[in-house]
Amino acid sequence: MGKYGFALVYHPDYVAPLPDAHRFPMPKFKLLQDLLLKDGVVEPEQIFEPELPSLELIQLVHTPKYVREYCAGTLESKAQRRIGLPWSSALAHRTRIAIGGTILAAKLALEYGCACNTAGGTHHAFPSYGSGFCIFNDLAIASRVLQHQRLAHKILIIDCDVHQGDGTAYIFQNDNSVFTFSMHCEANFPSRKQHSDLDISLPIGLDDDGYLQILASHLSDLLSEVRPELVLFDAGVDTHVSDRLGKLSLTNWGIYRRERMVLSTCKAAGYPVASVIGGGYGKDMSALVYRHSLLHRAAQEVYSTN
């Protein structure tokens, strides 16, 4: 299989019970897997299915009360509205599967050098509540699980979703073992930003070249400074010019160049990287799924040659 591991995160029985499914398209996870197989980006033997993580692992980050009430469907209505997604047992199950996928991707990255989840990036979830369509914070949970199991200690989170990873920043605000880097649109959700270890706020409408120049100016120095045992990369495609919730102006080519830059820089420096797809919102499902596939296409390019 070489150095490229691919972690599958998809629950085939799940259909999103959403009134506005074109904005929050849950079926994209299976469509993404199907596209990657059809285009030969991955082979079947590169696909790994995650296990359902225990509630105890989720509680390494989230409070037992919140985890228990959400999973049981007894969360109070105000807290449920803050998440922005209607509760169902299927959604609760898929949420846990997605966390399992990020945990698995992190472990595979340590083994193969790179692994990509086909879901994940729920970076707005805080320890005791969810927010912004994020229920549990998979990036934080994966970090804590690897530390708890003594597989890695120093972790760098590179968050390139268009929205600040405020939940992740809050969770690790007093923890030197996890360095949080968020590069996001300044005039976008959340209105109240948290303090990451390094925040880069971007102006509305920033294009490919401007975005990539800013990222390039920080990336190598960041790796040299932090010297992580593992990099977690949130590759949100809501930076795209046509994204409904974005406000930046990246093209498909710009997003692909971003993914290649992050992955190739990590590889050249010798740091394993586990990636999640992050946010992406649009009416054209096939276009959205293709944008998410750019992460995996870049990984196949970078890690298919030694």
From residue 208, give the alpha-carbon distance in Å to each of 81, 216, 240.
Answer: 35, 12, 9
Residues paired with 289 in a beta bridge: none
Burial label for 210, CB within 10 Å (0-12, 13-18, 19+), is middle
Residue 52 DSSP one-character state = P
Contact call for residues 160 and 151 (beta carbons, < 8 A): no
- Per residue in 204-222, pLDDT tens? 999 999 999 999 999 999 9
Please report where in the chains the tokens 């993914």 appear, as a residue: 259
Choosing from 124, 240, 292, 296, the catalytic residue is: 124
Amino acid identity of residue 75, one-letter, is L
Predicted local confidence at residue 26, as pLDDT: 59
- What is the percent of the chain where pLDDT is above 70? 91
- What is the percent of the chain where pLDDT is above 90? 84
- Per residue in 51-69, pLDDT tens? 999 999 999 999 999 999 9
Predicted local confidence at residue 306, as pLDDT: 55
Which three-class secondary structure state does DSSP give residue 230?
strand
Region 120-138: mean pLDDT is: 97
Q: Which domains does the chain have, with CATH numbers?
A: 4-10+20-303 (3.40.800.20)
Identify whether 124 is a catalytic site residue. Answer: yes
User: Angle at CA 296, nearest 5°, toward 268 and 159?
Assistant: 70
- Per residue in 146-203, pLDDT tens? 999 999 999 999 999 999 999 999 999 999 999 999 999 999 999 899 999 999 999 9
Return the higher-pLDDT residue of 73 and 15. 73
Mean pLDDT, the chain, whole residue set: 91
